[in-house]
């Protein structure tokens, strides 16, 4: 019998590509579907040809019934400029890329459903025109998803900029959001970033259903609020917690050297430092982080990128493709002083094998949602180092609500985390009582994640319900 056909559409960036690709694999392997995975391409092709991205999309790494379909390339120079910030650039390229969506869907065959990224909501009109049920995979935390739904109401009722509010924002049924934790895209009304964020969040209610990359035992209070609070019930389509959807471990020859080094270290003794596919630090912060790691006297693996003063998301569009010589910008003497204690990896490294390794005892992370879920699934405590997007909000939730992270303190009036503070939190996580408490908590959640994904578990059953609905469609 021919498999039912579903189309999946991510927007740009590894943080969006990975969960939609992994969910597609799950639909093929565990739910007997055929997937067409659409890829937005550009004339510069940074979106699909970086080292990390290219490896993910190798046909040899994909199941037979998951087919890659490239959309006609977007001429980036014609639709963007150097002044555009990250979300504006992503949304502008995505909107241009989706102009061909209708004709592509008709060419490959009208599917049973279309699943899009949260920044691809222009596809909803095409779905209505072709009578295709439309779903979105929300690639963030449920807490941020709830704030985003409420953001539309804030835009309507709050005068002025959210950045100027004197008190935290109380999201109905959820924890308060501190103004200092607000993502940049929600702070200032007259910015293009704000307008794009509002555009997409206001349209999620048009979907037939929303997949959430979380599970019942991870964010139970927020999930209950979305299901039961009168505000959310009035604006939210059916929700399906299906997480954790994370990148699976795959062999990578480039990791052989530091994986061999990890094999020789004691259990839970190494702190892993990696700030996401797009994250970058200033020169001053890199120096403080280097000496903080040295001062901690703890073992480490550090994925380091060239410093930039321009943007904390400096490699979002070209992860893994830059030329990088750490000895040119790390402080003099650092590599010599830490030889044998630490390993420095330029630019990019496969994260999952390191998190999975029994020697890894802590993770300095930017708190992107993919990295957060990968860390939980592998039972590793976190040191929260948010950089951009919703990462500050994630960091607060992880540290204060869920109890799986420590947040370094920044001195009043400063933006750089000092070396003494870095050394303190690294020691706390690797050898302190607080680190042990967090380790127990994160490993409890690891068990709940496994149960949620198993046959009969809440996330597995959530997917099964939707797939049965698709298969019942005539």
Question: Residue 102 burial (CB < 10 Å; 0-12/13-18/19+)?
Answer: middle
181 among known catalytic residues: no
At residue 260, what are phi and psi to the nearest 5 degrees?
Answer: -65, -40
Alpha helix positions (H), 343-432: 351-356, 369-377, 391-396, 419-431
Going across the sheet that includes 382-384, the strands are 342-346, 299-304, 270-274, 360-365, 382-384, 405-406
Q: HSE on the CB side for 134, CA within 13 Å?
A: 22
Tell me which of 16, 31, 366, 460 is the catalytic residue. 16
Instruction: Characterise 87 by phi-psi region: left (phi > 0), alpha (psi -120 to 50), beta (else).
Output: alpha
For 197-314, strand residue ranges (E) read 209-212, 238-241, 270-274, 299-304
117 among known catalytic residues: yes
Which pairing describes strands 238-241 and 270-274: parallel, antiparallel, or unpaired?
Answer: unpaired
Residue from 360, 345, 381 nearest 299 by CA: 360
Tell me which of 5, 31, 67, 117 is the catalytic residue. 117
Residue from 113, 212, 108, 118 nearest 469 by CA: 113
Stated length of the chain? 474
Beta-carbon neighbour count of residue 311 at 10 Å?
15
Distances, alpha carbon 174 to alpha carbons 178, 200, 219, 310, in Å: 13, 22, 10, 34
Q: Say whether the peptide bond before residue 352 is cis (omega within 30 degrees of 0).
A: no
Residue with tokens 């299901």: 227
Give me the active site residues, please.
16, 117
């Amino acid at each position: 019998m021919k498999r039912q056909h579903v189309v999946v559409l991510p927007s740009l960036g590894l943080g969006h590509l990975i969960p939609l690709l992994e969910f597609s694999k799950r639909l093929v392997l565990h739910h007997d579907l055929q997937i067409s995975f659409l890829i937005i391409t550009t004339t510069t092709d940074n979106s699909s040809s970086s080292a990390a991205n290219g490896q993910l999309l190798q046909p040899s790494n994909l199941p037979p019934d998951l087919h890659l379909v490239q959309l006609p390339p977007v001429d980036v120079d014609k639709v963007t400029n150097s002044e555009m910030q990250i979300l504006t650039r992503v949304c502008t390229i995505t909107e241009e890329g989706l102009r061909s969506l209708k004709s592509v869907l008709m060419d490959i065959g009208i599917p049973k459903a279309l699943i899009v990224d949260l920044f691809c909501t222009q596809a909803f009109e095409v779905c209505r025109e072709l009578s295709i049920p439309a779903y979105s995979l929300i690639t963030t935390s449920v807490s941020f998803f709830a704030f985003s739904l409420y953001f539309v109401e804030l835009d309507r009722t709050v005068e002025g900029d959210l950045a100027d509010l004197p008190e935290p924002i109380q999201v109905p049924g959820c924890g308060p959001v501190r103004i200092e934790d607000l993502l940049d895209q929600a702070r200032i009304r007259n910015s293009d970033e704000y307008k794009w964020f509002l555009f997409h969040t206001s349209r999620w209610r048009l979907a037939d259903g929303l997949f959430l990359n979380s599970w019942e035992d991870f964010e139970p209070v927020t999930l209950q609020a979305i299901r039961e609070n009168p505000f959310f019930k009035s604006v939210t389509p059916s929700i399906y917690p299906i997480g954790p959807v994370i990148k699976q471990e795959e062999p990578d020859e480039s990791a052989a050297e530091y994986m061999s080094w990890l094999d020789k270290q004691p259990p839970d003794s190494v702190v892993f430092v990696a700030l996401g596919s797009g994250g970058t630090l200033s020169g001053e912060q890199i120096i403080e982080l280097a000496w903080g790691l040295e001062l901690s006297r703890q073992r480490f693996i550090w994925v380091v990128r060239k410093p930039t003063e321009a943007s904390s998301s400096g490699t979002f569009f070209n992860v893994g493709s830059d030329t990088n010589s750490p000895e040119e910008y790390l402080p003099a003497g650092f590599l010599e002083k830490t030889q044998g204690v630490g390993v420095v990896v330029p630019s990019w490294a496969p994260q999952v094998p390191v998190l999975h390794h029994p020697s890894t005892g802590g993770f300095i992370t930017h708190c992107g949602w993919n990295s957060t879920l990968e860390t939980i699934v592998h039972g590793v405590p976190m040191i929260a180092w948010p950089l951009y997007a919703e990462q500050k909000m994630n960091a607060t939730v992880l540290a204060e609500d869920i109890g799986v992270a420590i947040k370094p303190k920044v001195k009043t009036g400063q933006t750089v985390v000092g070396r003494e503070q870095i050394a303190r939190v690294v020691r706390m996580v690797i050898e302190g009582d607080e680190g042990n408490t967090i380790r127990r908590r994160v490993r409890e959640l690891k068990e709940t994640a496994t149960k949620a994904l198993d046959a009969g578990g809440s996330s597995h059953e959530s997917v099964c319900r939707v797939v049965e609905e698709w298969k019942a469609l005539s």
